[in-house]
Structure 1
Amino acid sequence: MSVVRKNENVSRVWSSRIVLNVLSIGLCLCFLVPIISLGQGTQENYQIGAEDVLSITVWDHDDLKRVVTVSADGNFSFPLIGRIKARGLTVGELENKIARLLDKDYIVNPQVTITVQEFKSKKVFILGEVTKPGAYYLSKTDTLLEMISKAGGVTNDAGQEIIIVRPIEGAASQPTSLDSENSQLIRIGLQALLAGNIQKNIEVQDNDTVYVPKASLFSVFGEVGKPGSYPLEHETTILEAISIAGGPTQNADTQKLELLRKEDGVQRKFILNIQQILKAPAGSEELMIRDGDVIYQPRAEFFFVMGEVKKPGTYKLEEGMTVTKAISVAGGFTEKASKGKVKILREENGKQVEHRAKSNELIQPQDIVQVPQSFF
């Protein structure tokens, strides 16, 4: 029977993603309504750009009704007027401009209405852990949540932060990396966005890149209470990671840990002494968990003490365990013990070999310390 164990952090992260995707569905339903149905007040302040498709109507003059595409140089042609510069003007400003030109020589007090049929001049790139990454057109004053919703919402592998890469003023082109010199980074917490923090749901701008990074994870396995993978949400030490995973079990080796870490594309294994970790300065970089780290809490080795001791049995093998310490752990000798004839039974090459023990001899895993009875 397999048991899937998740800590509260993982549950909270997944719940947040479910909420965002539910919101995404609701918002996406809104986007199914044709763009042409957006109210005039909604579009009035939209700034027109190249490739936008405009529907122009002059009241009571059906012969002047046109659907035009703004050219790359920002112009389009209109009856009676000729070429008109549209790029950089808002919808409301262009309506007034056409009305003035028609009123000048052709129509008395013309009523001009413009609707943006297709928004194609402003793009936002949405990358990373979203359902449908790609380029999306800005339809109006779109917010961060609306743009993520257009991309189908975040995936279950999304992290806790959204990064907006925004070109600085005067930058010539779309930034292509997070460390571009021609861009600024805006970091938005996913939790705050979902919690309804209006300040976090900022407006996106033309040429923004919205990047949803993959969640940073670490894994803890072996003799811990809740083995599994966990989100790396903040600076976490190796011992804190063990605690997050439920702490060591009774059978854990509390003297050492194993760390698997990828460095320069190569997986490396490190054996860590817990006592040295405890003595290390707080905040030591080498003791901080990194994305992809795997920590293994090994099972402790055991030895056995039998015969004339007060508490014969199985004991956890700790570093520096000698024969004298082993007998002390087992309660010491009984009155019948033959103290000078203590033996160790040790497996060597598949066979159990017996030899006379020395008091300062180090115990090895699975050793049997035998204290015989004295007959004198």
Structure 2
Amino acid sequence: MELSMHCPTQSLVLLGICLGLSACAAKTPNYPAPPLFASTVTAYNPSVVPLAPSARPVPVAPMVIPQGVQEVGSDLIGEQDLLDIAVFKVPDLTRSVRVDAQGYITYPLVGKLRAKGLRPAQLEAQLAKLLEQSYMHNPQVTVLVRESTQNRITVEGAVRLPGVFPVVGSMTVLQALAKAGGLTEQADNRRAVLLRKGPNGQVSQQPIDIAAIRQGRLQDFTLLQDDRIVVQDAIYNRFTVSGAVGQPGVYPLKEGMTIMQAVATAGGMTRLANKYKAMIFRRGLDGREQRYAVNLDAIYRGTSLDPMIQQDDRIVILEAREKVIYDEALRFVGPVTLF
């Protein structure tokens, strides 16, 4: 005759084994809880451009708007712009002229005239005034900007359509990224760089947290003429889940992913999982690893917020000691045979 757990003798045996195994079980150290929304705050010093955890930070200059530099989409004439100038019923004065590096044009009967910084209508008025003074009565002058070498921005790196884009009207970083087809799956939306050339030719760098701009926590940058945006590849755009989950492994990290979503991606918790204490191992830019404890049960019941995970986080779902002990005891005792 075989009996299962209804036999008092077997219950005593099982209780003794459980007590013995529990005495040998190691206690889990207590670690602090992770920042609730760690991945929604700037995770790096805004005075440096962090390329990767193993890379040395690149110092950058503070981002300022240099004097004499215009926003993209401005209708102001700039250096190297190509202008179409026409005078009504005077074909000899209809021609294309290019603004030189100093911002001047050379035009018949007028000579050298500064065009940089003027709007086409302002240049029309100046040309008409100079022509009327000595050569003709009430000239009708038209100025069109055929090519604007300054009214452009460059977007490169981890975007779908990298390239140089002409701009009409003002443009921000997010609008420029949209024009470039958006980010690729390999893009690091927290580490882009805005490169800006000043009047003296020196290039300054500004780190951009694209995710923070999208979430409204950072103001979207207004671009200037000839700005360049570089979106970096996410070298560590992944996370690892191990321990008491259905499918432990390494998974791609999606924007805004939380620890509960990460656990679900790994197949959910097994029956031996300790839902009261999971561990997050997170390595900072200095290479040091920080450990955090997470109460998954509290998150599930809504009494605790679900923290977001970061790039290269390692999540370990611990096994509950009492569940493991009970499971081991069942396997050790097995069915009891009585005669």
Shorter-chain-normalised TM-score: which range? 0.5 to 0.7
Report the Cα distance in structure 1 between the residues aligned to 2:167 and 2:96, rounded to whole angstroms: 18
Distance 1:122 1:99 in 2: 26
Q: Distance in 2 between matches of 1:239 and 1:186?
A: 20
Matched with 2:149 is: 120
In structure 2, relative to structure 1, the CA distance for the partners of 1:240 and 1:276 (3 Å cut) is: closer
**Aligned AA (1:141):** G
The one of 171, 181, 186 aligned to 1:143: 171
Choose 1 or 2 for highest CA Rg: 1
Residue of structure 2 in register with 1:77 after alignment:
106
Query: Is 1:189 paired with 2:211?
Result: no
* Cα distance in 1 for residues equivalent to 2:207 and 2:104: 35
Q: Counterpart of 2:116 in structure 1: which amino acid?
A: R
Give the TM-score, by structure 2 length: 0.55
1:67 to partner: Cα distance = 1.2
User: Which of 328, 332, 336 is 1:368 aligned to?
Assistant: 332
Inter-partner Cα distance in structure 2 for 1:274 and 1:146: 38
Q: Could you tell me which residue of structure 2 aligns to residue 205 of structure 1?
A: 224
Partner of 1:13: none
Q: Which amino acid aligns with 1:205?
A: L
Tell me: CA distance 1:244–1:130, structure 2 relative to 1, closer, same or farther (3 Å). same
Secondary structure, counterpart of 1:92 in structure 2: helix
In the alignment, what sits opposite 1:289?
309
Question: Aligned AA for 2:168?
Answer: K
Q: Letter of the 1:319 partner, please give it.
A: R
The 8 Å contact of residues 48 and 86 in structure 1, kept in 2 or not, is answered as yes
Q: Classify 1:119/1:137 alpha carbon distance in 2 versus 1 (closer, same or farther; 3 Å).
A: farther
Cα 1:58/1:47, change in 2 over 3 Å: same
Answer yes or no: is 1:90 the counterpart of 2:119: yes
Match of 1:247 among 247, 257, 268: 268
Name the CA distance, whole Å, in 2 between partners of 1:274 and 1:202.
36
Segments of 5+ residues of structure 2 without an aligned counterpart are 1-72
TM-score, with structure 1 as normaliser: 0.50
Contact 1:56 1:65 in 2 (8 A): yes
Matched residue, 1:19: none
SS in 1 for 2:118: coil
Amino acid at match of 1:229: P
SS of residue in 1 equivalent to 2:123: helix
Residue by residue over 1:12-65, the C-alpha shift from the partner in whole angstroms, topping out at 9 and shown as x without a partner, is xxxxxxxxxxxxxxxxxxxxxxxxxxxxxxxx9710011111111111111112
Distance change >3 Å, CA 274–CA 111, structure 1 → 2? closer
The residue aligned with 1:319 is 321
1:68 CA displacement: 1.2
Specify which of 37, 59, 63 is matched with residue 88 of structure 2. Answer: 59
Determine which of 210, 218, 229 is the counterpart of 2:252.
229
Do 1:76 and 1:86's aligned partners in 2 also have CA atoms closer than 8 Å? yes
| Equivalent pair of 2:77/2:115 in contact (CA under 8 Å) | yes
1:150-185 deviations in Å (ceiling 9; x for gaps): 534433445668978597999974432318xxxx99
**Any idea what SS the aligned residue of 1:175 has?**
strand
Residue 295 of structure 1: CA displacement?
A: 3.0
Question: Cα distance, 1:294 vs. partner?
Answer: 4.0
Tell me, in whole angstroms, the C-alpha distance in 1 between the residues paired with 2:286 and 2:126.
Answer: 61
- Tell me, in whole angstroms, the C-alpha distance in 2 between the residues paired with 1:265 and 1:162: 17
Q: How far did 1:208 drift? A: 3.9
**Residue in 1 that maps onto 2:57:** none
Q: Secondary structure at the match of 2:206?
A: coil
> 8 Å contact 2:151–2:166 — kept in the other structure?
yes
Alpha-carbon spacing, 1:244–1:137, altered in 2? closer, same or farther (3 Å): closer
Change (3 A) 1:230 1:139: closer
RCO higher in structure (CA 8 A, sep ≥6): 2
Aligned sequence identity (%): 25
Question: Cα offset for 1:87?
Answer: 0.5
Could you say if the C-alpha distance between residues 203 and 265 of structure 1 is closer, same or farther in structure 2, counting changes exceeding 3 Å? closer
What is the CA distance between 1:108 and its match in structure 2? 1.3
**TM-aligned CA distance change 1:61 to 1:203, over 3 Å:** farther
Amino acid at match of 1:107: M
**2:193–2:206: 8 Å Cα contact kept in structure 1?**
no
